[in-house]
Amino acid sequence: MKVSATPTALELIEDLKETHGKDLLFHQSGGCCDGSAPMCYPAKEYMVGDQDVLIGEIGGIPFYISKTQHEAWKNTDLIIDCIKGMGGMFSLDNGTGRRFLTRSEICVPEGTSLN
Amino acid sequence: MAIKKKMANKKKKVARKSNTKSKKKIKSIKKKKKVATNKSKIATKIKTKKPSKIIHLDKNKEITKERGKKMSTETVKGGVSASLDTSHLKVPFPFKKKYGNYIGGKFVEPKSGKYFDNVSPINNEVICQMARSDAKDVDAALDAAHEAFKEWGKTDITTRSNIMNKIADVLEKNLNLLATAECLDNGKPIRECMAADLPLVIDHWRYFAGVIRAEEGSVAEISNSQYSYNIPEPLGVVGQIVPWNFPLLMATWKLAPALAAGNCSVLKPAEQTPASIMLMMELIGDLLPPGVVNIVSGFGLEAGKPLASSDRIAKIAFTGETTTGRLIMQYAAQNLIPITLELGGKSPNVFFEDIMDKDDAFLDKCVEGFVMFNLNQGEVCTCPSRALVQESIYDKFMEKVIARTKAVVQDNPLKMETMIGAQASVEQMEKIKSYLDLGKKEGAKVLCGGDVAKLNSGLENGNYIQPTIFEGDNSMRIFQEEIFGPVVSVTKFKDEAHALEIANDTLYGLGAGVWTRNGNIAYRMGRGIQAGIVWTNCYHAYPAHSPFGGYKQSGVGRETHKMMLNHYRQNKNLHVSYAENKLGFF
């Protein structure tokens, strides 16, 4: 699993860095309502640990997903996009009129094939 | 058939003209309200509300009537477009132009003076403006709640119960108006609002009003001179964060048990659906002492976070998703307070071969049970979004469910015949689209739907998704993640053991369905599936008397049912010695 970001998402990340500082992190959510949304927080406010997997960086910001969700999602690469919207719970994009959206592509885990 | 009957009754009720004949009583209420705004008289106010006077109901009819008159001048600027017209439902457009926060028993401006546009998912037109609150408004609401708790926490149970029954009565009298508001705010079909959401709201208020009357603490006789008395006590002021999929019902699931247990609440509705709860408070607000319920609208980051992280709440209840659930637990850890979390699922709906032993009413019920993934546009935490069908009946059963799914009427949610409405927000529609896209990339076969639904007649800008059935494998992400849309992913199973294995191969465990004519299979599957609720030969039933909550990553705690009361209470143990003599240690 890899993570990347679209130009519009990178733009929003830069805007958030300007407002909230550069020390941010992403955590991929799961479950209902705003589930599946990538959440962005000040790094010191969100506790990540051994139960999380760091899958990469976008815009210089580390991107985490929980270990169990990583296992369920491992056949996909994540592309973080930015769309119009106002949701996002406590994520820093909330209320900006823009929000991050996770899109996905099929990937082939190392050492395996799709068949 | 039951739904059809209910729908027919609703239509009759809609057509029925409201009967208003109590202007004198209204005047007396207005006087009483003035007196009651004095905080020191909370207790007096509660006691003066005699159960025998059903004045609130008559008054409420008048409120509705008055609102209808006002609406001609108070609708959004320029009025709403024809696709949001509610006149065929015989109710006025339910919303005012603008809503402040409901704090301390009245509507107040947000301290920053900021508002945000609230749109209807039906066509994404602005229907009203809502307070864009921040930490200062949350603080004001907490002040009001703490002040109110001084008296409310001590009210006798009969008083609280009677008030909650009156709330239910007023909501019932205004069912059509509230249902219309919910339909406009959320995009769900009016027939679901009228036959499911609002009746459940009303029933939950009555259930908790009733259950606290029948409850009692306990006494243990430790010895013939020592007794241990257990007395439930309220926690105090609680924070409650409500999702956008069932705005009034989820608010009620949280408010009714909290209030019944003697707590005061500061509640934040979702920014996607903030308006219907304000209408509800307009209707029921004066039945409660000021400050017992406070509603602060706004964004999660600006208003939800200050509430969830406040050191002035005694508990936080949240419905949403896992990452925010963890964050809420973090805040609760910092404040050392309890939580309840409901974080979603990926519920399996399992169909065994014996359902097709006969072509009868039960088989028809099973077909409907499959198509239940369309209820509320699939925006239900327990959406039966994974269907497991025994391979021996797969082709024949799928033929029936595809035909039934294709017959689902998708149109303006305000029409009584519409079965599936609009997704609650543009971004939710975008998320569902991303999963429709992913499902195809994963190699799942689209059996029907699979795309955005293009509707016309003024609905071009609304959020509509075609009811979609994917066929694939449980390892695919469309089987593993809650899409929260009208999308079901179907797979086959060989036998009971295989069905159970697939059903439990998920991170979540909120709901499940089992369909069979064999009681033994039903029992074994029901016990074997790791989920908080397993519906057997039914689905999407949410009576107040059934507990709701999840196993695994679906959350912590339960909602609804009297067991919910203990999520909003402390236990006070009074340990009393009636002996005269000392122990003799010292």
Give residue-wise pLDDT tens across range B545-560: 999 999 999 999 999 9
**Contact flag B381-A37 (C-beta cutoff 8 Å):** no
Q: Which of B243, B342, B186, B485 is nearest to A89 (CA)?
A: B243
Looking at residue B303, what DSSP letter applies? Answer: I
Among B321, B438, B553, whose Cβ lies nearest the Cβ of A33?
B321
Instruction: Report the chain B residue with the minimal C-alpha distance to residue A90.
Output: B301
Parallel, antiparallel or unpaired: strands B115-120 and B569-577? unpaired
Which residues in chain A touch residue B329, judged by CB atoms under 8 angstroms apart? none
CA–CA gap between residue B586 and residue B573 (Å, rounded): 25
Render pLDDT for B84-127 as a digit per residue (tens, 0 to 9).
Answer: 999 999 999 999 999 999 999 999 999 999 999 999 999 999 99
* pLDDT-based confidence at residue B224 (cuts at 50, 70, 90): very high
**What is the average pLDDT value for chain B, to the nearest integer?**
90
Which residues in chain A touch residue B426, judged by CB atoms under 8 angstroms apart? 83-85
Catalytic residue numbers of B read: 342, 381
Give alpha helix (H) positions in B261-410: 276-284, 305-308, 322-335, 361-371, 394-406
Instruction: Report the chain A residue with the minimal C-alpha distance to residue B269.
Output: A89
- In this complex, is the C-beta atom of A5 within 8 Å of any C-beta atom belonging to chain B? no
The Cβ of residue B506 has, within 10 Å, a number of other Cβ atoms equal to 25
**Contact flag A32-B299 (C-beta cutoff 8 Å):** no
Q: Which of B108, B105, B98, B117 is nearest to B136 (CA)?
A: B108
> Using an 8 Å Cβ cutoff, are B562 and B211 in contact?
yes
Q: Would you state the pLDDT for residue B214?
A: 95
Instruction: Report the chain B residue with the minimal C-alpha distance to residue A77.
Output: B438
- In this complex, is the C-beta atom of A26 within 8 Å of any C-beta atom belonging to chain B? no
What's the one-letter identity of residue B436?
Answer: L
**Contact flag B425-A85 (C-beta cutoff 8 Å):** yes
Mutate to test the interface with A, among B273, B324, B463 (most CBs of A within 10 A): B324
Give alpha helix (H) positions in chain A: 7-20, 67-73
Stretch B279-294: mean pLDDT = 98
CA atoms within 13 A on the CB side of A37: 33
Asked whether the predicted pLDDT for residue B488 surpasses 90, the reply is yes
Stretch B276-293: mean pLDDT = 98
- In this complex, is the C-beta atom of A49 within 8 Å of any C-beta atom belonging to chain B? no
Q: Which of A62, A52, A75 is nearest to A25 (CA)?
A: A62
Cα distance between the two ends of chain A:
18
DSSP string, B10-44: HHHHHHSPP----HHHHHHHHHHHHHHTSGGGHHH
- In this complex, is the C-beta atom of A14 within 8 Å of any C-beta atom belonging to chain B? no
Report how far Cα A77 is from the mean position of its chain's Cα atoms.
11
Stretch A7-35: mean pLDDT = 95
Write the ipTM: 0.95
In chain B, what percentage of residues exceed pLDDT 70? 87
Please report, for residues A95, B80, B100, B299, the alpha-carbon distance to residue B116 in angstroms, rounded to integers and kept in the order given.
10, 17, 11, 9
Asked whether the predicted pLDDT for residue B2 surpasses 60, the reply is no
